[in-house]
Amino acid sequence: MRITGKVIHGEGKGKLYGVPTANLAVQPEGLQPGIYVGSVQNAEQAAAPCIISWNQTFEVHVLDWSGDLYEQELQVEVGDRVSDFVPFESERQMKA
């Protein structure tokens, strides 16, 4: 499934924890909350795990990327669901 959306500002928790995500302004219809295999097609293709949380936000963590994606439109190819969405209670828990 391909999802296209503009990158918007989120809560900044991923960046705070050293795992920045791009929050897309889309409602991921037909997808259950969880972690998905994904890739981003922008200037070049990059692996990008996808996160759909319980409040239906759609986030991608573009691997090996540093830079500003705000207001850019990203095309994300969403693959298989690999796990449930389980929110972390702390930075320590996330990094364990």
Interval 17-64: pLDDT, tens: 777 888 898 888 888 889 999 998 765 678 888 888 877 788 898 888
In a domain, 91, yes or no: no
Instruction: Report how many domains make up the chain.
Output: 1
In a domain, 92, yes or no: no
Full-model pTM = 0.80
24 conformational bin, left if phi > 0, alpha if psi -120 to 50, beta if neither: beta
| Residue 59, domain extent | 2-82
Least confident of 11-15, 39-43, 45-49, 89-93: 89-93
In a domain, 32, yes or no: yes
Q: What is the CATH number of the domain that holds 41?
A: 2.40.30.30
Coil, strand, or helix at residue 73? strand
In a domain, 63, yes or no: yes
In a domain, 69, yes or no: yes
In a domain, 87, yes or no: no
In a domain, 94, yes or no: no
Q: What is the pLDDT of residue 43?
A: 57
Rounded CA separation 39/78 (Å): 7
DSSP labels, 18-64: T---EEESS--TT--SEEEEEEEESSSEEE--EEE-TT--EEE--TT
